[in-house]
Structure 1
Amino acid sequence: MKTNDDLNYLRKITDLAHDYYLNKLSLGEISKKYHLSRYLIAKYLDDAISQGLIKITINAPQERNFELENKFRQLFAIENIFILKDSENPSLKNENVIAFAAKHIQSLINDSQIIGLAWGDTVYRVIDAFTPKVKENLVFTQFIGENMKYKSAAGSGRMVEKVAAKYDAHFVTIAGPLYIVNNQIRELLKKEPAFDHAMSLTKKIDLIFCGIGTLSSIESIPAWNESKSIIFPNVDFENVAGMLYGRPYNSDGQFLNIVNDKTFGLDIKSILQIPRRVAFTNSKFKARAMLGALRGKLLTDIIIDESIAQRILMEAGDNTL
């Protein structure tokens, strides 16, 4: 028989779980509301699951198509390729990629200390699907400048803050813009005290996770769209298959602005030396962008579903499956 203390405890963790999972309060907001440390909140949320107060159900198993994965490994020589089987329930199709990406990235975070991330709605949803944890000596950081979507919750700076709250961890932002056209100003800014700490952290990143972008991600931001030809001099925009790490690349995975890169942040050579670089997409319109990333070996881990995989094969001229 449960005592009053037991019942009070169950009510407390139920209230915490309700605020976190249903009201979408952050660990910081809950900490202020209940005057509890973030460590205790994470523990209470785990208790709520173990006590059966919260039931997390997956409506469809995240089954993988191992045959298709093996084909992609042979075609593109990438080991960490994850292709999820399409759900029979259309409403769950996108959620499977999000849930799998969240689980995979969190497993990699366990062995990392400094994590870089980009922005975007899909990245936001993956972070939202993270299980709250407390991990000491963990730092999340931008590795390139601010995309200037200041009114969006999926903007660069807010994204770093959001994921850090999931781990009660530190975060560092890069206050400068994503692109700086003047070469001298861009290089000198990196040495300013306001940016020096962030820039030094980017050189120690163990893991990057991001979505796959297209040219529309730049064109949707007026400041960049109006200056495309200046930001990307001599780039033929018809050849742009995708955007990754803030840079345009073609369907062969070749970056188109290496000679005159205006991106403020970590350079491409350093980015491609980061041990784990994870990207995911649940958009059928990004098959060409993903094909370029595969061909150029721009990523170490890729998470997609069957329908996108088939579109990639069609783009590549392979219709054998």
Structure 2
Amino acid sequence: MNQEIINLIDRVKADCLAGKAQDRDTIVSLLDITPGSEEYTYLCQSARQAALVITKKEAYLWGAIGVDFAPCSMNCTFCSLGEAWGIVNEEISYSEEEIIEQIKRYVGCGVRFIVLRTTEFYSIDTLCQFIRDIRLQVPGEYELVLNIGEFDIETANKIHESGASGIYHALRLGEGRDTAFNPAQRNDTLNSVHHSPLKLIHLIEPVGIEHTSEEIAEVFLNSLQYGVVISGAMARIPVKGTPLGTKPQISDQRLAQIVAVTRLCGGKNVPDICVHPPSKEAVMAGANVLVLERGAVPRDGSLAEDLWNGFDCQRAKSLLTECGYDIVQKKDDGR
């Protein structure tokens, strides 16, 4: 093994447990380690060791509901819902009653974070009313999160007042190139979340073979400045018919490597790390949050009427427990 790299990993792990984040050059150096190498294995093992300390072996389930299966005019080149790609030819939007029934199933199987995900221009006022009604009709120790379009600080506060505790939002890899979004506007929304009571969840996504270690590092560092509390990585899934649909998916090892780097380089101030799609290699490299999803899925050209790819609560729990975690469902202001 390269002793210089091993020493670097040891130093970063110690910094992580002390709550210290890393600079760009360090992050890039770790991302440049060859997947499958001895140094890669040591990186993943070190991230796992740090994860078990930071999380106290606690893991969580994330349950997403794609509320509207509809063409979106933003036409992100990796997204199945892009209007220009012609993949989605019918519009299906879940009613409040359907959403509540799906949430009851998630809560019943121990999901902690329940996410309502919509296309860019779905009514935020409607979602806030959904949240108020969900809180009245579905008791339980879970958190509600929105994954929506752009908004300001006033709207962020309104979302929190309605009963949501978090926002999933990301400056994505290739923002402004593979999307029609202005990166500055995405950052404005991240800033609105940062200055509100809402928690920020921001994965590095959608990671593909086209993205460099430098790009990945910059997106991760950008999320840290806005106070991200759940980080991690999500792979770009090649969707046939989209402009990026012919580019292959990254390997499980590369995904696990990025997870390990987010675990170690964010410090203990980023306590929870998510991976999607689920991967044992990534859980063994520091991830402690796994995603279930149904409804409209940007990674699929069809409505997922059941759980996407058949990945259900039982499979998620089995994977996490097999990797040494306890499944927890609770609201905890500390994490």
- TM-score, normalized by length of structure 2? 0.31
Instruction: Name the one with the larger strand percent.
Output: 2
Q: Normalising by the residue count of structure 1, what TM-score does the alignment of the two structures yield?
A: 0.31
Structure showing greater radius of gyration is 1
**Which of the two has greater helix per residue?**
1
Higher relative CO (Cα under 8 Å, sequence separation at least 6) belongs to: 2
